[in-house]
Amino acid sequence: MQYKVIKDANRIVKNCPYVVNDPYKNKKRWSEVFGNNHPICLELGMGRGDFIIDMAINYPNINFIGLEVVDSQMVNAVNKLEGKKLNNLKLINADAKEIDNIFGKEIDTIYLTFCDPWPKKGDEKRRFTHPIFLRLYDKIFKKHKHVILKTDNKGFFAYSLETLSQYWYSFNRVSLDLHHDEKPIENIMTNYEKQYFKEGRPIYYVDAKYED
C-alpha cells in the first residue's frame, strides 16, 4: 500500500505518551507495563488507529496494543489520542515480524483488521495469515490461540480460512457480510470499514480459535 508521508512523523510518534519506544525490553512483562493482569489484545497493522482506540474506550477492563510499522500512519492515531486518557492502551511502531521478540506468551487475542492482502503469489509469505505468521503467533499467545480477522478482500479471506483450518483452528463465527448478517455480530469499525460500509461493500469476518 502507498501512504502519504508526513513530515516529522517519526518524531511525533516517539513523543506520544501512548507509544512504547523500546518495546523489546518489555517482553514477558507487559502486565507490569499496564499495571494489571487484565487480558491483552494485539492489533497488527493498526493503520490510523480507529479500531484499537475505540476498543480501548469501549472495553476498559481489557488491555489493547496497536502495532504499526508505518510511522506516517501512526501519526493519525497519535492525533486522535490528544486529550484522551486511556490507561489500557499502548502503541508500538515496529514490524509485525518482530512480535516474538516483543512479547512472551502474553497475548489473549490477535486482531487482523483490513491488513494488506498481498494479492500477488510472490508476496504470499507477507500475509498475516500465512503459516510463517501463524507460527509466530504460537510464540506469543498466553494460552489459547484466538484470531479475529476482518477484510473486504474475498480472495484473502478464502486464503485465510484455508490456512487457519489447516493450522487446526476452528471457527467460532464466520460471516460473508458482517454488517448484514442475520445474527448480529458485536463490532467496532475501522477507518477503512466505515468507508466500505458507506459504499455497501461486504465485509468478511472470521473468529477463529484453537484450544490445546
- The CA radius of gyration of the chain, in Å to the nearest whole number, is 16
Q: How far apart are CA 55 and CA 88, in angstroms?
A: 10
Instruction: Look up residue 26 and give its three cell numbers.
Output: 518489555
Query: In sequence order, what DSSP letters do the residues of 29-81 get, joined into one string?
Result: -HHHHHTS---EEEEES-TTSHHHHHHHHH-TTSEEEEE-S-HHHHHHHHHHT
Catalytic residue among 54, 108, 116, 181: 116
Cβ neighbours around 180 below 10 Å, total: 11
Distances, alpha carbon 150 to alpha carbons 116, 154, 169, 173, 179, in Å: 11, 10, 16, 12, 11
Non-local CB neighbours of 83 within 8 Å, separated by 6+ positions: none
116 in active site: yes
First-to-last C-alpha distance (Å) of the chain: 36
Give the number of residues written for the chain: 212
Residue that the C-alpha cell 486518557 belongs to? 85
Within 13 A of 100's CA, how many CA atoms are on the CB side?
A: 9
Catalytic positions, written as ranges? 116
